[in-house]
Amino acid sequence: MIRATTSGVLNSYRTNLMQSFITQSTAMKNILKPRNFHSYADDTASASRAYQIRRSLQRTGAQLGSSQTLTYKFESAWAALEHVVSDIDNGQSDSEWDKILRGLSDSTADARSALGKAMIKLGDDIIQSMNTKYGDNFVFAGADGLNVPFEIREDGHLYYRGVNVDTEVPKLLGETKVGQGTPIQVKLDANGNYVQDNTGTSYLRADSVEIMSKAEYKKATEKQDVGGVETFDANGNPDPAGGYVIVKGKTTTVSQADYNADPDAYFVLKDTAGQPILNGGNYTVIKDAIIKREDFEASKPKALTDANNNNAMVEVNKDGVPTTNGGYYVVVNDAEAISKKDYEQAKSDLAKLDYMSKEGNYVDIGRGLQEDEDGNLIESSAFNQALQGINYLGYGVDEDGDPKNLVSMVRRMGEICTQFQNGEWTKDSPGWDELNRLANKFHEQAKELQNMHTDLDADAKALKNNNDLLTDKADTMKEQIHDLEDMDEAEAISSFIWAQYCYNAALKVGNSVLSESLMDYMS
């Protein structure tokens, strides 16, 4: 049996009263801020779970913000392309391109000039649309949204992020493919002739040279020598002072019988007495072989020589690759060369364009962002927000040397129209073939742009759907947080009223106990 003392009663009362006060305070706190817990210590499991959900909610909020921004960006890009497509869509009667097509056959110079200006303006309008901005960033600038993507520079070329979109890396003589094989290095001698030189500073373009067999080259460089006479008159008669030569490779023969049957039908080599010269029972027909000596010397093809081998002609195979006994020579009369510096610059610029066409700027929009074992981003788990303008308009040149870029095409067509000012516009007019060739290529590139415009619309709709999914996901997590953290306000008020009632009751009991104990003590 435990003896009840005044001290024990007081201690017990003090403890219970304090507990009632704490319960009342907690209930009051729940009214002011109705939460199931106010610290980890209150409910460790619920607090941990709530923290995880809140962290996920924060990440989802960031993903939603990125996705919404991308949606607006892609909608801006779609609207810009819509303007471009409407201008170049030749299926619409009111499009600028349709008007241009109707005017291509106009034969008047004034109309042609106006047509050319309209084409150039169309190119400028396309550039303006492709330089559209969303916020502070250029939409079609790829990964570099702070700088204007397209610009026409003083040289008349279109540039994308500082690189000429019409960059061409030519196939060089000696290469098996562009950039593969060993190109022939050349330089010019004192007479302006191309020579092979391993220290040369230029390369020959393979598309600008002629590969001629040794036999054909020999024909083209030989003149007729009759009885020690090297020159003839205009009728093909030997004349030391005649000033004409007969080209061997252009002569033919006719039998004596055929010539005698119709001598006026043939222009044959004759002696000084004016008699046809027989050669093995045949006459030499020289109608197309008589040429002035100076013209003959000027027309002789010039072959690539080897500066390191006594100026001997360089033998190549039919593909232009130097080889012993190749059987061919390289004719360099009108050969075009490109400096090693310009060639390397062209390769570098084209590599930049290729890189920019494939570059990415990936953002997390809730696709389960992941990295591989090497720490590299798995691209399919993120969204590429980079829109490369050159992918929509094209870049580089094709096998004909024509630009692949829509703007470059239409501007070039405009230049052709404005440059041809005089005469009737026919199939024989300078630039007719090029203009129509470019028009067909422009049409094909325009159809590809329309397809890409459709794909961009699909991307924008996919982003909208992603926004809806992220919004639903965020709402679900907010409900989970509410269930874990928030207390029912009615329940909180009821709990407070009960706690207050218990505390007041404890105070009343305490007053009774304390007053009696004090009187007993005083007595």
Q: What is the pLDDT of residues 54-91, one digit of tens each?
A: 888 898 888 889 889 999 999 999 999 998 988 887 55
Greater pLDDT, 124 or 57: 124
Q: Which residue has the tokens 């969204």?
A: 383
pLDDT for position 418:
83
Please say if the pLDDT value at position 491 is more than 90.
Answer: no
- The pLDDT confidence band at residue 111, using thresholds 50, 70 and 90, is confident
Lay out the sheet containing 278-279: strands in order across.
252-255, 282-285, 278-279
CB 413 within 8 A of CB 439: yes
Please say if the pLDDT value at position 517 is more than 60.
Answer: no
The structure's pTM equals 0.74
Please say if the pLDDT value at position 235 is more than 70.
Answer: yes
Q: Looking at residues 262-288, what average pLDDT do you find?
A: 88
CB 161 within 8 A of CB 147: yes
Instruction: Point out the least confidently predicted range of 13-22, 176-185, 240-249, 286-295.
Output: 13-22
Instruction: Point out the least confidently predicted range of 10-19, 88-97, 166-175, 196-205.
Output: 88-97
pLDDT in tens, 340-358: 999 999 999 999 999 999 9
Q: Are residues 496 and 431 in the same domain?
A: no
Q: Looking at residues 220-235, what average pLDDT do you find?
A: 84
Whether residue 311 is contained in a domain is answered as: no
**Measured CA angle at 361 (ends 357, 367), to 5 deg:** 120
When divided into structural domains, the chain yields a total of 3
CB-based contacts of 363: which residues, under 8 Å, 6+ apart?
66, 70, 382, 383, 385
CB atoms within 10 A of CB 26: 14
- From the list 330, 325, 327, 322, the residue with the least C-alpha distance to 304 is 330
Whether residue 201 is contained in a domain is answered as: no
Last residue of a domain, one of 387, 421, 446: 446
Q: Which residue has the tokens 């003149």?
A: 223
| b/e burial code for range 260-293 (CB count within 10 A of at least 16 → b) | eeeeeebbbbbeeeeebeeeeebbbbbeebbbee
* Rounded distance between C-alpha atoms, residue 291 and residue 244, angstroms: 6
Structural domain of 420: 108-168+342-446
* Rounded distance between C-alpha atoms, residue 45 and residue 303, angstroms: 89
Q: Are residues 346 and 441 in the same domain?
A: yes
Whether residue 125 is contained in a domain is answered as: yes
Q: Which residue has the tokens 């006594």?
A: 310
* Rounded distance between C-alpha atoms, residue 126 and residue 120, angstroms: 10
Greater pLDDT, 114 or 353: 353
- The pLDDT confidence band at residue 423, using thresholds 50, 70 and 90, is low
Please say if the pLDDT value at position 1 is more than 50.
Answer: no
Q: Looking at residues 218-225, what average pLDDT do you find?
A: 88
Q: What are phi and psi of 231, to 5 degrees?
A: -125, 155
pLDDT in tens, 302-329: 999 998 887 889 999 998 888 888 999 9
Q: Is the dihedral of CA 290, 295, 301, 306 positive or negative?
A: positive
Q: Which residue has the tokens 């570059």?
A: 359
pLDDT for position 204:
94
Whether residue 203 is contained in a domain is answered as: no
Last residue of a domain, one of 389, 422, 446: 446
DSSP 478-496: HHHHHHHHBPPHHHHHHHH
Whether residue 424 is contained in a domain is answered as: yes
Q: Are residues 351 and 432 in the same domain?
A: yes
Last residue of a domain, one of 269, 299, 329: 299
Whether residue 320 is contained in a domain is answered as: no
- From the list 206, 207, 202, the residue with the least C-alpha distance to 340 is 202
Give percent of the chain with pLDDT exceeding 70: 84
Q: How far is CA 54 from CA 47, 104, 367, 410, 516, in A?
A: 10, 65, 19, 55, 56
pLDDT in tens, 403-421: 999 999 999 998 888 877 6
Whether residue 461 is contained in a domain is answered as: no
Lay out the sheet containing 158-160: strands in order across.
150-152, 158-160, 163-164
Whether residue 375 is contained in a domain is answered as: yes
